[in-house]
C-alpha cells in the first residue's frame, strides 16, 4: 500500500516591519512598505499593522511600489478615497492593488496582473491622469502599460543596464493636441534618455558622467528670468521649463534643464543642419563631498524642498529659494559692502567688481541653499515624503525613512516658510543652519533588528520565543502578535524550561541568562563558559539542563528554588514571629565534562540514557548521561556537525553538517543507515517530529543556508516535501509538540510557521508535480528567449509579450473550447446531411458533456464564455498559443458574435490582434477573403451601434452635469442675496478666470 503523508503549507509570515528590497510610500498617516512578498501598511503613530496585501501562492519579493496620483491630486487628504497602487515583483510581474486608507479594516483587492519583463522590475512611474504606467526592468527595458485596457502598449529597448528612474513629461500644449507626451529615463549604463511617446523612439541621449546614474527627479519651473528676455519671445511661445536632477554612483548630483519652448518645436534642423539639444546641463548641486552613490532624489510636491540620500545614514534637504529672495540677499550684501568701504575710507576694487556682477541674472544654483540633514541610526534603504504638510502649530514636512535593520522612522522637517522667517529674523544670512528635523515616531517593536539565531516553542505550543543579537521576543503562536520584548546579549541558543514560565538563553559571551517570561525580567545571569554557548538542552526528567561551549566544556546544571531577600515577617496571635522568604528559580552548576574540541551542539536522548555532543572536528561523541562514560563515536562528516537530534524512541540519531549532508545513524551500534545530500548549502538545523503518537515516527525537518525547508521520511530516506518562502539563510528551526506546525527563523528577519493541512500528499505525485514544474519553466524560458541571443535583429521598440504558466493554461482552454465547439458543429452538420439525403427522421446526435454541463448552450456561446473568463491582461499572450487552423475557426465565431452584436469591444480587440499576428498567412490564403469581408461588414455595423449608444450616453451626462452646475451655482448666489444681473456677471468672471493654474513654490 502506498504511504500517504499530510501536506504542510505556509501561514502568515511575521516579525517583518519592512524588507530592504523595495522603496516605501507615505500618506502622512500610513506607511506602505514591502514585507518581502507582501505589502505591509503600518499606522506609524500607533505602531500597528493595519493591512497586509498578499497574493496567494506568490513567493517572489516586492521590488517597487508606487501610488497612482489621482487621489492625492483630487482631494486635500490622500486617505479619503480608494487609491490604486502598482506593486512590482522580482519575477517581472506587476500587480495593481486597490486600497481605501479610510477603511483600513477592508482588505486590499487585486485588480490586474501585468507580465512583460523577463527580469525583475526596478522602478515604475504613473502619468498625471493615472491611465498609463511605465516600468523599467533590470534588463534595461521600459514597458508602457494601459491601465484602462489592461494591456502592454509597447516595449522600449535602448538602455544596456538596469533602469533607475522614469518620469513622464506632458506635452507643452497638452490641452491643444492629443500628443501622448514624453518620457525621461535614467539607467546604470550612465545614460539619460528622452523618449517621444508619439513616435515611440528616443530623441536624445545624454551621457551623465562616468559613474552609474542611480536616481532621477523632475520638477516644473515656471519662474521667468531664465533663457532669453521676455520681449524677444513670441507671443504664442510656451514659457517655462523642466528641472531634471540626476544622482550618480560617484556621489555627484547634476541639474539639467529642458525648455518647454524647445520641446514644443520638436527636432527641427537649424540653418546649419544641426538638430537642437533639448536637455542641457545647468549646474552641479553643492553637496558634501562623498564617493557613495546618491540612491534617491525627491522633490516635495508643494514645498520648495529637494531631498537627496547622499550616503548610508544621511538625507540632505535643500531649499529652493525664489528669485526675489536671492535678489534681496544680493541687496543686503551690497549694502554691507558699501558700509565696509565707507569705514575703510576708500572703495575696494574687488568689492566693486563683485557688486557690478551681482546685479545680473539669477542662476539656478544660487537659489539652492542647505536646509537640514536627517541622520538615521542605521542604514537607510529608502525615504518617502508625505503629500501634504502637517496641520500643527510648528508646521513641517513629514518624512518616512525605511531602514535596513527592519524598522521605519517618521521625521518632521521644518517647513521652508517657517525656517525662512527664522533665518531672516536672525541676520539675513540664508546659509545659516535651520532647526534640526525631529524624530516623531518609530516602528521597531514588532520585529528583530538583526538575524534570528534561535527559536523555541513552549511545551504547550502556545508561545514562541525568538532570540537575536540584543533582543529576545515572545510571540503568541496563534495570533503571531509580539507580547514581550526583552533585552539580552548576542543570543545564539535558547530553550523553554518545564512549566513554560522561564526561559534560558545562551549568549556569545559565554553567559546563561535566566528570564521570567511573565514579568519580562532577567532573574539571573551566570558566567557559565569562557567562549560562546552553542548548545542548550533540558534534561528529559525536567530537573536540569546541559550547556556546551566553544571553550570545550560541557556543563551540567540543576534547577533549584532559592530564597532571596530579607523576606516578610509575620507575627501570629501568640506572638510568634515567622519570616517568609520569596523563592525563585536558579541554576546550580553540578559537574563539568571536558572535551578535546569546540562543542557545537548537545542533545539528550528522550529516554534519558545518552548525551550526544557534536565537536568541531566533525565527529559526534555519545556518552552515558548518568556516568558520563564514553559510548560511541560517529565518524563520517567532512565538515563540522552543526545540529543533531535523537528520535522519540531513542533508536535513531540524525546529524546535519556544513558539508550539505544529513546522516542517519543507529543508536545501538553507531552504524550509518543513510547519508543524504540534502541541501545546496550548509544545513543549519535538523529536528525529528515530536508529540503524542509519534514515538515510532522517524520523519524529520531540516533547514539550510539555501533558504529551503525540507521534510524527510527517516525510514524510507525520501524527501516528502520541499517548502520555499524565506528570502535569506535560515538559521533556526523548532517543531511543535503536537506535530501540527513548524517554526523557522531566518536572516531575512522573518519568522514563518508551516502548518499541517488536511490535504494528503503522495510521494509519486509530488515528484511528478516537481518534474512538470521543471518542464514548464524550461518551456517558458525557451518561449521568452530574447531574439538578440538567437542572432535576430534588435529593434528599439517592440510589442509586449511574455508567456507564463497562466497564459499557457488560458491558451489551452481556448483550444479545448474550439475543439469541443467544432466537433459539435461537425456532428450536427453530418446529421443534417444524412437526414436530407435519406429523407429519414434520424435521432439527433448526443452533444458533448461539457456543452450540456454549461447549460446545453450553443457552440459559439460556449467559446464566448470560455474567452470571457480569461483575464484581459493574459488575452493576447493566450491567443499566441493557437495554431493557425484554430485561428481560422475562431474568426468564424467572431463573425457570428459580431452579427449578434455581443461583446463588440472584445471582438475588436481579438480581431485586431489576430490580424496583426497572422497577417502574412491570411494575405497568402485567398479563401479567407470572403469570410473576412463578411466579418468586416458585420463588425462595422456593430461598432456603429456602439458609437450611437456612447454618444447618446455622453450627451445625457453632459446635460446632467450642466444642469447640476447651474442649480448649484444659482443656489449659492441666492444664499448671498444677489440679483440676476450680479449672478450673470459673477458667472462671466468665473468663466474668464477658468484657466489652468500652476502652483509655484
H or E stretch covering 899? helix 884-900
Percent of residues, the chain, with pLDDT higher than 70: 88
Q: Rounded mean pLDDT of 287-296?
A: 87
Inter-CA distances, 144 with 23, 134, 844, Å? 20, 4, 52
**Band (234; pLDDT cuts 50, 70, 90):** low
Cβ count near 336 (within 10 Å): 12
pLDDT in tens, 580-614: 777 889 999 999 999 999 999 999 999 999 999 99
Tell me: pLDDT of 659 over 90: yes
Average pLDDT over all residues of the chain: 86
- Whether the CB-CB separation of 135 and 65 falls below 8 Å is answered with no
CA atoms in the 13 A half-sphere facing the CB of 775: 7
Tell me: pLDDT of 992 over 80: no
- Whether the CB-CB separation of 475 and 494 falls below 8 Å is answered with no
Tell me: pLDDT of 965 over 50: yes
Q: Which residues lie closer than 8 Å to 432 by C-beta, 6 or more apart?
A: 423, 426
Torsion of Cα atoms, 950 then 951 then 952 then 956, to 10°: 100
**Band (224; pLDDT cuts 50, 70, 90):** low
Burial of 184 (0-12, 13-18, 19+ CB in 10 A): buried
**Lowest mean pLDDT across 137-146, 487-496, 770-779, 807-816:** 770-779
* Phi/psi at 71 (5° precision): -70, -40
**Band (977; pLDDT cuts 50, 70, 90):** low
Q: What is the pLDDT of residue 77?
A: 39
Q: What is the pLDDT of residue 426?
A: 42
DSSP line for 308-356: EE-SSSEEEEEEE--HHHHHHHHHHHHHHHHHHHHHHSS--HHHHHHHH
Tell me: pLDDT of 73 over 50: no
Exposure string of 909-919, with b = 16+ CB inside 10 Å and e = fewer, is bbbebbeebbe
**Lowest mean pLDDT across 382-391, 736-745, 833-842:** 382-391
Q: What is the pLDDT of residue 787?
A: 61
Rg over CA atoms, the chain = 36
Q: What is the pLDDT of residue 177?
A: 76
Q: For residues 443 and 493, what is the distance between their CA atoms, to the nearest angstrom?
A: 26
**Lowest mean pLDDT across 298-312, 420-434, 612-626:** 420-434
Pairing of strands 30-35, 463-476: unpaired
pLDDT in tens, 893-930: 999 999 988 889 999 999 998 998 888 888 887 788 88
Q: For residues 411 and 550, what is the distance between their CA atoms, to the nearest angstrom?
A: 44
Q: For residues 552 and 855, what is the distance between their CA atoms, to the nearest angstrom?
A: 76
Q: Rounded mean pLDDT of 37-48?
A: 93
Q: What is the pLDDT of residue 546?
A: 97
Q: Rounded mean pLDDT of 377-382?
A: 92
Torsion of Cα atoms, 670 then 671 then 673 then 674, to 10°: 90
The three cell numbers locating residue 875: 488575452
Q: For residues 148 and 131, what is the distance between their CA atoms, to the nearest angstrom?
A: 6
Percent of residues, the chain, with pLDDT higher than 90: 56
- Whether the CB-CB separation of 756 and 6 falls below 8 Å is answered with yes
Closest CA to 24 of 508, 352, 497, 404: 404
Q: What is the pLDDT of residue 78?
A: 41
**Band (228; pLDDT cuts 50, 70, 90):** very low
Scanning the structure block, which residue is given the C-alpha cell 506593486? 87
pLDDT in tens, 790-805: 555 567 888 888 888 8
Tell me: pLDDT of 996 over 60: no
Q: For residues 824 and 193, what is the distance between their CA atoms, to the nearest angstrom?
A: 56
Q: Rounded mean pLDDT of 457-475?
A: 94
Q: What is the pLDDT of residue 739?
A: 87
Q: Rounded mean pLDDT of 71-91?
A: 68
pLDDT in tens, 380-418: 999 999 876 544 445 688 999 999 999 999 999 988 875
Give the highest mean pLDDT range of 67-81, 481-495, 797-811: 481-495
Q: What is the pLDDT of residue 926?
A: 79
* Phi/psi at 537 (5° precision): -150, 135
Q: Which residues lie closer than 8 Å to 563 by C-beta, 6 or more apart?
A: 581, 582, 583
pLDDT in tens, 511-557: 999 999 999 999 999 999 999 999 999 999 999 999 999 999 999 99
Tell me: pLDDT of 578 over 90: no
Tell me: pLDDT of 256 over 50: yes
Q: For residues 746 and 20, what is the distance between their CA atoms, to the nearest angstrom?
A: 14
3-state secondary structure of 388: coil
H or E stretch covering 990? helix 980-993
Amino acid at each position: 500500500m502506498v504511504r500517504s503523508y499530510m501536506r504542510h503549507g505556509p501561514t502568515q509570515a511575521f516579525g517583518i516591519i519592512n524588507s530592504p528590497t523595495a522603496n516605501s510610500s507615505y500618506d502622512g498617516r500610513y506607511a506602505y512598505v514591502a514585507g518581502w512578498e507582501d505589502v505591509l501598511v503600518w499606522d506609524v503613530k500607533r505602531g500597528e499593522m493595519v493591512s497586509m496585501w498578499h497574493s496567494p501562492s506568490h513567493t517572489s519579493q516586492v521590488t517597487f511600489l508606487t501610488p497612482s496620483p489621482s487621489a492625492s491630486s483630487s482631494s486635500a487628504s490622500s486617505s479619503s478615497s480608494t487609491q490604486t497602487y502598482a506593486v512590482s515583483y522580482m519575477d517581472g510581474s506587476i500587480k495593481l492593488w486597490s486600497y481605501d486608507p479610510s477603511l483600513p479594516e477592508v482588505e486590499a483587492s487585486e485588480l490586474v496582473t501585468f507580465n512583460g519583463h523577463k527580469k525583475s522590475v526596478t522602478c515604475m512611474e504613473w502619468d498625471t491622469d493615472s491611465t498609463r504606467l511605465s516600468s523599467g526592468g533590470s534588463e534595461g527595458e521600459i514597458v508602457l502599460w494601459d491601465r484602462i485596457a489592461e494591456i502592454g502598449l509597447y516595449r522600449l529597448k535602448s538602455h544596456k543596464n538596469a533602469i533607475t528612474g522614469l518620469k513622464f513629461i506632458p506635452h507643452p500644449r497638452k490641452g491643444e493636441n492629443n500628443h501622448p507626451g514624453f518620457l525621461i529615463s535614467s539607467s546604470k549604463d550612465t545614460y539619460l534618455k528622452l523618449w517621444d511617446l508619439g513616435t515611440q523612439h528616443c530623441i536624445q541621449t545624454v551621457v551623465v558622467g562616468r559613474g552609474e546614474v542611480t536616481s532621477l527627479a523632475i520638477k516644473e519651473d515656471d519662474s521667468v528670468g531664465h533663457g532669453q528676455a521676455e520681449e524677444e519671445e513670441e507671443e504664442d511661445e510656451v514659457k517655462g521649463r523642466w528641472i531634471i536632477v540626476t544622482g550618480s554612483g560617484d556621489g555627484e548630483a547634476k541639474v539639467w534643464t529642458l525648455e518647454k519652448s524647445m520641446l514644443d518645436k520638436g527636432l527641427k534642423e537649424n540653418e546649419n543642419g544641426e538638430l537642437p539639444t533639448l536637455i542641457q546641463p545647468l549646474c552641479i548641486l553643492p553637496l558634501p563631498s562623498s564617493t557613495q552613490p546618491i540612491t534617491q532624489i525627491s522633490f516635495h510636491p508643494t514645498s520648495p524642498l529637494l531631498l537627496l540620500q547622499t550616503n548610508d545614514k544621511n538625507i540632505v534637504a535643500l531649499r529652493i529659494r525664489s528669485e526675489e529672495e536671492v535678489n534681496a540677499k544680493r541687496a543686503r550684501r551690497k549694502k554691507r559692502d558699501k558700509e565696509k568701504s565707507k569705514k575703510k575710507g576708500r572703495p575696494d576694487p574687488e568689492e566693486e567688481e563683485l557688486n557690478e556682477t551681482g546685479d545680473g541674472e539669477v542662476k539656478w544654483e544660487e537659489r539652492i541653499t542647505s536646509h537640514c540633514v536627517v541622520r538615521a541610526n542605521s542604514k537607510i534603504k529608502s525615504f518617502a515624503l508625505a503629500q501634504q504638510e502637517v496641520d500643527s502649530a510648528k508646521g513641517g514636512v513629514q518624512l518616512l525613512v525605511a531602514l535596513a535593520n527592519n524598522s521605519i522612522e517618521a521625521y518632521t522637517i521644518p517647513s521652508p516658510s517657517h525656517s525662512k522667517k527664522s533665518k531672516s529674523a536672525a541676520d539675513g544670512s540664508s546659509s545659516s543652519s535651520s532647526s534640526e528635523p525631529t524624530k516623531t515616531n518609530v516602528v521597531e517593536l514588532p520585529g528583530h533588528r538583526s538575524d534570528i539565531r534561535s527559536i523555541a516553542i513552549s511545551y504547550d505550543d502556545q508561545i514562541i520565543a525568538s532570540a537575536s543579537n540584543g533582543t529576545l521576543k515572545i510571540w503568541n503562536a496563534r495570533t503571531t502578535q509580539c507580547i514581550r520584548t526583552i533585552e539580552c546579549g548576542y543570543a545564539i541558543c535558547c530553550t523553554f524550561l518545564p512549566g513554560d514560565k522561564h526561559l534560558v538563553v545562551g549568549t556569545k559571551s559565554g553567559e546563561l541568562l535566566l528570564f521570567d517570561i511573565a514579568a519580562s525580567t532577567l532573574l539571573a545571569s551566570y558566567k557559565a563558559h569562557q567562549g560562546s554557548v552553542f548548545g542548550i538542552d533540558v534534561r528529559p526528567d525536567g530537573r536540569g539542563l546541559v550547556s556546551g561551549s566553544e571553550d570545550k566544556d560541557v556543563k551540567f546544571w540543576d534547577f533549584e528554588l532559592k530564597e532571596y531577600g530579607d523576606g516578610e515577617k509575620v507575627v501570629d496571635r501568640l506572638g510568634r514571629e515567622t519570616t517568609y522568604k520569596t523563592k525563585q528559580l536558579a541554576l546550580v552548576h553540578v559537574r563539568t565534562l571536558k572535551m578535546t574540541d569546540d562543542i557545537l551542539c548537545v542533545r539528550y536522548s528522550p529516554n534519558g540514557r545518552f548525551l550526544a555532543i557534536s565537536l568541531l572536528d566533525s565527529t559526534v561523541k555519545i556518552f552515558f548521561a548518568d556516568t558520563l562514560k564514553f559510548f560511541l563515536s560517529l565518524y563520517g562528516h567532512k565538515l563540522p556537525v552543526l545540529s543533531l537530534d535523537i528520535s522519540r524512541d531513542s533508536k535513531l540519531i540524525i546529524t546535519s553538517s556544513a558539508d550539505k549532508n544529513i546522516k542517519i545513524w543507529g543508536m545501538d551500534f553507531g552504524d550509518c543507515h543513510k547519508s543524504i545530500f540534502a541541501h545546496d548549502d550548509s544545513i543549519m538545523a535538523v529536528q525529528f517530529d515530536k508529540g503524542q503518537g509519534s514515538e515510532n515516527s522517524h520523519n524529520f525537518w531540516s533547514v539550510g543556508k539555501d533558504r529551503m525547508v525540507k521534510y524527510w521520511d527517516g525510514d524510507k530516506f525520501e524527501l516528502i516535501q520541499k517548502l520555499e518562502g524565506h528570502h535569506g539563510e535560515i538559521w533556526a528551526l523548532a517543531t511543535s509538540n503536537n506535530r501540527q506546525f513548524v517554526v523557522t527563523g531566518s536572516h531575512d528577519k522573518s519568522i514563518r510557521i508551516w502548518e499541517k493541512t488536511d490535504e494528503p500528499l503522495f510521494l509519486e505525485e509530488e515528484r511528478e508535480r516537481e518534474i512538470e514544474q521543471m518542464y514548464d519553466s524550461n518551456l517558458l524560458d525557451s518561449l521568452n528567449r530574447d531574439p538578440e541571443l538567437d542572432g535576430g535583429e534588435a529593434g528599439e521598440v517592440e510589442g509586449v509579450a511574455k508567456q507564463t504558466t497562466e497564459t499557457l493554461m488560458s491558451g489551452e482552454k481556448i483550444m479545448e473550447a474550439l475543439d469541443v465547439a467544432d466537433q459539435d458543429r461537425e456532428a450536427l452538420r453530418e446529421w443534417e446531411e444524412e437526414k436530407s439525403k435519406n429523407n429519414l427522421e434520424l435521432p439527433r446526435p448526443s452533444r458533448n458533456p461539457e456543452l450540456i454541463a454549461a447549460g446545453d448552450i450553443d457552440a459559439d456561446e460556449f467559446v464566448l464564455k470560455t474567452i470571457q473568463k480569461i483575464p484581459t491582461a493574459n488575452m493576447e499572450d493566450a491567443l499566441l498559443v493557437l495554431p493557425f487552423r484554430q485561428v481560422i475557426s475562431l474568426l468564424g465565431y467572431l463573425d457570428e458574435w459580431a452579427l449578434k452584436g455581443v461583446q463588440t469591444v472584445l471582438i475588436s480587440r481579438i480581431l485586431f490582434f489576430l490580424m496583426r499576428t497572422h497577417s502574412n498567412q491570411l494575405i497568402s490564403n485567398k479563401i479567407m477573403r470572403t469570410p473576412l469581408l463578411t466579418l468586416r461588414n458585420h463588425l462595422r455595423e456593430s461598432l456603429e451601434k456602439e458609437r450611437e449608444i456612447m454618444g447618446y450616453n455622453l450627451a445625457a451626462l453632459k446635460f446632467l452635469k450642466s444642469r447640476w452646475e447651474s442649480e448649484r451655482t444659482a443656489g449659492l448666489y441666492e444664499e448671498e442675496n444677489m440679483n440676476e444681473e450680479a449672478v450673470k456677471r459673477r458667472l462671466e468672471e468665473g468663466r474668464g478666470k477658468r484657466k489652468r493654474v500652476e502652483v509655484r513654490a
